[in-house]
Amino acid sequence: MLLKDKIAVITAGASGMGQASAQLFAEHGAHVIVVDVNEGAATATVEGIIAAGGSAEAAAVDVRDLDALERLGAKITADHGKVHILYNNVGIPGAAGMQLSEADWDTGIEINARASFFLTGHLLDALKAADGASVIFTSSTSGLVGSPFSPLYSFTKGGIIALVRSYALALAADKVRVNAIAPGQVETPGLAAFFRIDDPEEIARRKAAFAATIPLGRASDPREIASVALFLASDLSSYVTGVTIPVDGGITAK
């Protein structure tokens, strides 16, 4: 019970890494606020957590809507008074290439960078009130090394790493630790979107080809990412702040 009686907020918490983290945090005693644009999936995730003996609530929010993010922050602060864990997990592959439409650019920036920046700000008082809080961001190995296929994705995820360092310095005196996880290939429902094709056989072929380049020889399971998030959320990492942890099977070690 590493997170007993803690309040945890997880964006994109209804699928993939976010859902695995919501379930694991709840198993360790946290009350989890599952934030997701898909209200049905968020509700189902919460129902599953409660059925397993945990505590959770759902919040249906489109993170591109800054007013909705402000209302979410205000509601969480009013309802709970403090937030011990904020896991800014939301993100999308976004558009590929170097010739993008303005809409593609805006969507990538809004979801991968702007949303987490603003939500953290809206919850800042609640995080400080916790007298020891942890903020976690989802970056990517593409934020640590270049991506020739998705420069915008690398740009947003690399920016997260710089933001984490800055927040860690700014909030250290308030006992708020700030770190990031940089996953590599993860077997989530959203993984296929990175290949930007619809052919299941071709997607499977490309996934296998990429997995062959990973030193550990496979993609990760979402719960393996969630386990690192649990470490960063808990007092096990009480002296860790301002760092980005690759969870990539060795890709960035090469």
* Interatomic CA distance for residues 65 and 88, integer angstroms: 15
Closest-CA residue to 57 (of 79, 81, 78, 87): 79
Neighbours of 213 (CB within 10 A): 13
**DSSP 3-state assignment of 85?**
strand
What DSSP character marks residue 14?
T
Strands of the sheet containing 176-183, edge to edge, are 55-60, 31-36, 7-11, 85-88, 133-138, 176-183, 244-247
Closest-CA residue to 83 (of 5, 12, 18): 5
Active-site annotation holder among 87, 153, 167, 239 = 153
**Contact, 126 vs 82, CB < 8 A?**
yes
Among this protein's residues, is 153 annotated catalytic? yes
Catalytic residues: 153
